[in-house]
Structure 1
Amino acid sequence: MDIGLLILRLIVGAILFVHGMQKARGWFDGPGLDGAVAMFGKIGQEPPRQKVRLAIACEVSAAALLVLGLATPLAAAIAAATMLVAGAALTTLTGKVWITSGGGEYPLVLGALAVVIGFTGPGAYSLDAISGLDSWTAGHSTVTGILVAAVALVGASQPIISTRRILARRGADTN
């Protein structure tokens, strides 16, 4: 099980890192900062430049923490909230869930995987386990997972509500 948790953390962390670097530097065929700002403006993330910077900080910090298995509940909550906002924005914009239709399926799955990490903990191959930081969370995995999900939902709620209002207003302005 510990190898599986390590692999899960490494994969989710790597994907989050790539997402952040696509926005920050244009690496991995990403849009770069200016392209990400334009994209965020389109999906109702206002003010877009600040929201892009926040997304980059969240994705890169969650990635680093997940890969290291350090402060794993915090990392999982940051990742889940960030991906929930992205998934909700895409789904609201397109009115569709599935990625093939431009919806938010993919980031929603990444967010769900982050919540799963919150429930399972980082496993033995992590700095949390080596340092003993996971001693409380290991014995209270259900409580930790619920807290991770709750923090993610609370953290994502304001940006989601704001995005829905902005996109609804834009829709009303075009009618």
Structure 2
Amino acid sequence: MNAGLLLLRLLLAGLLFGHAAQKLLGRFGGGGPDGTAPVFESWGFRPGRPMVLLAGTCELTGAVLFASGAATPLAASVVLGTMIVAAAPNWPNGPWAHLGGYEVPLVYGVLALVLAMTGPGSWSVDHAVGADGMSGVLWALAASAVAGAAAAPALLLRRRSLRAPDPTATGTPEAHA
């Protein structure tokens, strides 16, 4: 079981690291902060660059914590909150990624919750420091609550941003300033 949990942690950490590197460094075909910012803005996450930096930093934090098996409930909260926000623009498309859906953030978020429920296993920092008891359904529920609370401001700002008129679309003088 410990080998399986380690494999699961490292898989999730590697994928999160790749997404973080795309946003923060422009690696793995990513646009870096400046190249990704317009995409975030088109999704309603404005201003784009700070939101990209926040998302990338959260993914990197989750990757480091899961890879080491440290502070697993915190890692789950960070990743799940980030994935809730990441799923929002794709929600109308349904679950399937090939149709532009939210499949990837759903899978990453559920994997984070699974690790909050099971714990990281014996081959982890949590085990080494005696924090093995920080897992189970209650910890997963707590991680979910923190993730939801952390995701709410970004989702509310996105909603407000999408409802506001875009000055660049109206041709107003402010659009050309």
TM, length-normalised to structure 1:
0.88
Query: 1:144: which partner in 2?
Result: 139
Structure 1 runs (4+) greater than 3 angstroms displaced: 168-171
- Does residue 55 in structure 1 map to residue 55 in structure 2? yes
Higher helix share: 1
The structure with the largest alpha-carbon Rg is 2
Q: Does 1:158 align with 2:153?
A: yes
Give, as a single letter, the amino acid of the residue that structure 1 aligns with 2:42: K
Task: Could you tell me which runs of 5 or more consecutive residues in structure 2 were left unpaired when the two chains were aligned.
Answer: 170-177
CA–CA distance in 2 between the matches of 1:170 and 1:40?
Answer: 17
Q: 1:113 is matched with which residue? A: 111
Cα separation, 2, equivalents of 1:167 and 1:103: 19
Matched, 1:100 2:98: yes
Q: Which runs of 5+ in 1 are unaligned?
A: none
Identity of aligned residues (%): 40
Q: Deviations over 1:40-96 (max 9, x none)?
A: 1111111111111111111111100100001111011101100110011232xxx21
**TM-score of the superposition, structure 2-length normalised?**
0.87
Once the two structures are superposed, residues 108-145 of structure 1 have per-residue CA deviations (whole angstroms, 9 ceiling, x without a partner) of 221111111111111111011011122x314xx11111
Q: Distance in 2 between matches of 1:5 and 1:123?
A: 6
Count of aligned residue pairs for this structure pair: 167
Q: What is the RMSD computed on CA atoms of the aligned residues?
A: 1.8
User: What's the offset of the Cα at 1:170?
Assistant: 5.3
